[in-house]
Amino acid sequence: MSVYSGSANAFRIPGSDPAAMEECTSFSCEVGAAASEPTVVVAAVVVGLAAFLAFAYVREAVDAGQHERRRVLAERDAFEEFADRIDALDPAPAESTASRFDGPMATVRTVDRTGGDVRLRRVLAAYRDTVMSVPHYREEYDETVPESLAAELGPDTATALASNGTLSDAAQSALVGRSRRAAEARSSLAEAIGEEIDALRAFEDDLSCVDRRRRRLLEHLDGVSGAGTDAAIDVWERLEDLERECDGIAAERQEAITDPPMTPDSAVDVDGDHAFYEYLYGPTDGPLYPVLAQVSELAERIRTDRDGVASRLAGGQ
């Protein structure tokens, strides 16, 4: 998922539109006032006061991260294999020359379609057999060999190959070096995705802890006979404490979002602060900021619970 930029911290942002986000209207706006983006508000569906929350947004985000990490690692392995195969080729003699072409990309297209120098044919065959053979290549990229070479290894790669219409020492060195850097970039990206997955799981644990305490409070109150005014007041106050914990979790995630595991360089025309999340979650059906969406859902549930306890107090039940 990277574009050539000469560094290991760039990746392609998929073309699909990110999931639509609504204006935040509650606590997450307040705790994130210093960073107006990202914000999200999610309408909670109340199934029962003591019901478990599924935390579907976070779990789906973990699944998406694991899926993308597998694809990135497949691309890393493909570039490593391509580099090894090119490194093992015998370059053309220094005195080798070729006919003039209508441009560097034309050279690669011509050889790819009609034949040409055996070394260059082996380069293109190796590229097709490795990088272009990852299972998701057609779905994700669907590029021709020249287009993919230019996007992944730099437009001057074709120029190097076209200089003599064969595989020169310089072209071979460039292909091997850039392919290994492409593999390293994907290793870095896979590591960044792994960090995000770990962060998602940690936040899910925090939210699950809050939700368990929420349910225990309500179960305790349900077990109190009579009006139970003192118990209801205590539960109402403790629920208020849990809502403040949600504020803290949201603030922690807001801060983390401003320092993502990886940021692209100028080769990617996306706001660097949020590009990693657009890359990872934009193509999914879920929210762009799943932790914030999940915190908002839990906080809404807690507020609903508090309203129920307040109604009990008002009714003397």
Q: What is the pLDDT of residues 273-286, one digit of tens each?
A: 688 999 999 999 99
Q: What amino acid is encoded at 130 in this protein?
A: T
Q: What amino acid is encoded at 61 in this protein?
A: A
State pLDDT tens for residues 131-141: 999 999 999 89
**What's the CA gap between 295 and 41, in Å, rounded?**
9
Q: What amino acid is encoded at 226 in this protein?
A: G
State pLDDT tens for residues 164-217: 677 888 888 989 999 999 999 999 999 999 999 999 999 999 999 999 999 999
Q: What is the pLDDT of residue 266?
A: 41
Q: What is the pLDDT of residue 228?
A: 79
Residue 166 burial by CB count (10 A; 0-12/13-18/19+): exposed, middle or buried?
buried
Spacing of C-alpha 221 from chain mean position: 42
Longest dimension (CA), the chain: 99
Q: What is the pLDDT of residue 269?
A: 42
